[in-house]
Amino acid sequence: KRKGFIFDLDGVIVDTAKYHFLAWRNLANSLGIDFTEEENEQLKGVSRVRSLEKILDWGNKSISQEEFDRLMAHKNEEYLAHVDRMDEDELLPKVAETLEYLKEQNQAIALGSASKNARRILEKVDLTDQFDAIVDGTDVSKAKPDPEVFLIGAKALDIKPEDCIVFEDSVAGVQAANIAGMVSIGIGDKYVLHEADHIFRDFTELSKDFLQELIRK
C-alpha cells in the first residue's frame, strides 16, 4: 500500500535544537532571563513568535512590538549563522537510509515542519529532492499541536490522514499527529513522548520489518 510518511525536520532529520538553544539563550540572557536545556525542551516544535512569547512569560517581561520584532530577527540571524555552516554530516543517524528505503518502496514522503527556515536547511543537507511535498512554517497559520501542518502535508501527497505516519521529536508534534488521526512515531525520549503510538531513540532502532508493517497495515 502507498502510505504517507511525514517527517518533522528539527530534531528528527537534523539536530538543530542545539543551535536554537544557543540563539534563544543569548537572547534570554541579554534580557536578564535564565534559559536552560529544560526550557529549550518546551520550545521544540513551537513557532518562533510563540517561543519568544514564552521566554518573555518565563522572565515576566513585557516589551514593545518593535523590540519584539527586532529580537526575533536577531535570534534568527544568529541561528542562521549556525545553519549556514551545516552539511550532510549533520544528518541524524540512519535518516538518509530510511528516506531512501521508503522511496524504494514507492511510499509518499513529506516534510511537516514549523520552521520558516526548513527549505534552506534541506538544501544544506542535500535532501530537498527526497520529498514529494514540503510543508513548513511559511505554509501554516496554526502551530502544532494544531494538526494543520500534517493535514496540509497529507493533502499535498494525496493520501488520507489515516494512511499517514508522522515522525516527531516534540510533544506538540506528537499531539498534532494524534489529533490528525495519523500514526505518531516519537523520536527521542520515551517518557517525554509517551503519547506517541511508537517511540524510538533514533532511526537506528527502527527496523525495515517495522517500516514494512507500517506500509502493510
Q: How far is the CB of 106 from Mg ion (least distance, A)?
A: 26
Q: Does 51 bind Mg ion (CB under 5 A)?
A: no
- In the region spanning residues 133 to 172, those forming contacts with Mg ion, defined by CB under 5 A, are 169-170
Q: Which is nearer to ligand G6P, 125 or 214 (CB)?
A: 125
Q: If binding is defined by CB under 5 A, does position 184 make contact with Mg ion?
A: no
Region near ligand G6P per CB under 6 A, out of 40-48, 88-96, 146-154, 178-186: 40-48
One-character DSSP codes across 34-56: ---HHHHHHHTT--HHHHHHHHH
Angle, vertex CA 55, rays to CA 6 and CA 170, nearest 5: 20
Give the C-alpha separation, 120 to 44, whole Å. Answer: 19
How many Cβ atoms sit within 10 Å of the Cβ of residue 103? 16
Nearest to 125 by CA among 96, 97, 82: 96
Among 25, 27, 33, 44, contact with ligand G6P (rule: CB under 6 A): 44
Asked about 69 being catalytic, the answer comes back as no
Near ligand G6P by CB under 6 A: residue from 51, 98, 107, 184: 51
Spell out, one character per residue from 101 to 120, where the chain touches ligand G6P: x when CB under 6 A holds, - when not. Answer: -------------xxxx---
Helices (H), 32-127: 37-43, 48-58, 65-83, 95-104, 118-124
Contact 181, 162 (CB under 8 A): yes
Q: Are 111 and 118 in contact (CB under 8 A)?
A: yes
Indicate the DSSP class of residue 196: S
Please report, as a single letter, which amino acid is at residue 135. Answer: V
Residue 34 annotated in active site: no
Task: Decide if residue 10 touches Mg ion (CB under 5 A).
Answer: yes
Least Cβ distance, residue 106 to ligand G6P (angstroms) = 29
Nearer of residues 133 and 211 to ligand G6P, judged by Cβ:
133
Unique residue bearing C-alpha cell 534570554 = 28
What is the smallest separation between the CB atom of 44 and ligand G6P, expressed in angstroms? 4
Binding residues for ligand G6P (CB under 6 A): 10-11, 20, 43-48, 51, 76, 114-117, 137
